[in-house]
Amino acid sequence: MEEEKDKKIRSRRYPIISGAIILAFMFLAIFGESLAPYPPNEPGMSEMFLPPFWQKGGTMDHPLGTDMLGRDMLSRIMTGSRVSFIVAILAITIGGLTGTALGIIAGYYGGKVDAILMRTADATLAFPIILLAMLMALILGPSIQNVVISLGITLWARYAVVIRGEVLSLKERDFVALARVAGASSLRIMFMHLFLNIRNTLLVMLTLQVGWAIIIESSLSFLGAGIPGPSPVWGSMISKGREYISTAWWIPFFPGLAVATVCLSFNMVGDWLREILDPKLRQLG
C-alpha cells in the first residue's frame, strides 16, 4: 500500500515538460550543428534584421529571424547549445569530483584537516566568480578553458561544504564503526561506505548546478570574459543584440529565452530529484 502511494507521488510530480526540454537541449548539444538549417556564422547582407516569421517581413526560411549580419538566429541558438553544455559538464565534473573528495576527507578526518579545507572553501566562495573569470580573461585571454577553470574553482567549494556536512553525520553511524572493526582502511571507508551514502545528495547537486553553470557562462560571455567570437554563444549573442533591442528585439530575446528555459528546467528536475530521494520530503508529499 505504502509502495503504491510512493509510486503515485513520484509519477504525479515528475516534471515531464522540464525533462523533455533537457533531453531536447542535450540532443541539440550533440547534433545541433548538423541539424542547423544554415551555418551559424554565415552572413547574409541581403537578409539583415529579418524579423521572426509571424511578423511582417518575416519568412519561414528564417523562422526566428536574422541578426545584424544576416545570420540565422535559429541556427546560432541550436549550435550555441553545444558550447553551454560542454562548459557546464566540464566545470561540474571538475568541481564536483574535487569538492566531493575534499568534502569527504574534511568530514572524515576533522581537526586541522577539516579546518584548513573549510576555511579555504569559505575564502573561495567569498571571491566573486565573475571577477575571477574577468581577471583570468585579462591575464590569459578569454577562452572556453578559462571559463571552465573559473567555474571549477568556485564549484568545488560548494560541493565540499555540503558533502562535508553529510559525512559528519554519517561517520558516527554503526556501519562505519563496523567497517573499522572489520579492518577496513580509511580510504575504503571514505569511498566505499561514505560515498555510497551521499550519492543522492551529489546527484541532486549535480542537476541543480548545471543551470547555475550555464547562467555564469552566459554572464561571462555577455561581459566579454567568456568564450570569444565568432563562436555562437548565447551570452555574447545577448550582449551584441542589446544594442538593437528597440528595433530588432528578437536578436537578444531568443538567446535569453534559451538560457532561462534550460536553467529553469534543470532546477525543476533537481527539485523533483530532491523530493523523491529525500524520505522526509517524500513523506510530506
In this predicted structure, what is the pLDDT of residue 284? Answer: 44
In this predicted structure, what is the pLDDT of residue 220? Answer: 85
- Domain residue limits, the chain: 80-284
Report DSSP state, residue 226. S
In this predicted structure, what is the pLDDT of residue 10? Answer: 53
Output Rg (C-alpha) for the chain, integer angstroms.
23
In this predicted structure, what is the pLDDT of residue 280? Answer: 54
pTM of the model: 0.85
d(CA 207, CA 262): 12
d(CA 93, CA 152): 8
Closest among 132, 141, 152, 144 to 233, alpha carbons compared = 144
> Digits of tens for pLDDT over the chain (285 positions)?
455 555 555 555 678 899 999 999 999 989 988 899 999 888 887 888 999 999 988 899 999 999 998 999 999 999 989 888 888 899 999 999 999 999 999 999 988 999 999 999 998 888 887 787 777 777 777 788 888 888 888 889 999 999 999 999 888 888 888 888 888 888 888 888 888 889 888 988 998 888 888 888 888 888 888 887 777 889 888 988 888 988 899 999 999 999 999 999 999 998 888 888 765 554 444
Q: Which residue has the cell 568530514?
A: 107
- Read off the C-alpha cell for 23: 533531453
In this predicted structure, what is the pLDDT of residue 180? Answer: 84
d(CA 48, CA 55): 15
Backbone torsions φ then ψ of 135, nearest 5 degrees: -65, -45
In this predicted structure, what is the pLDDT of residue 12? Answer: 53
d(CA 255, CA 46): 23
* Topology classification of domain 80-284: MetI-like fold (1.10.3720)
In this predicted structure, what is the pLDDT of residue 285? Answer: 47
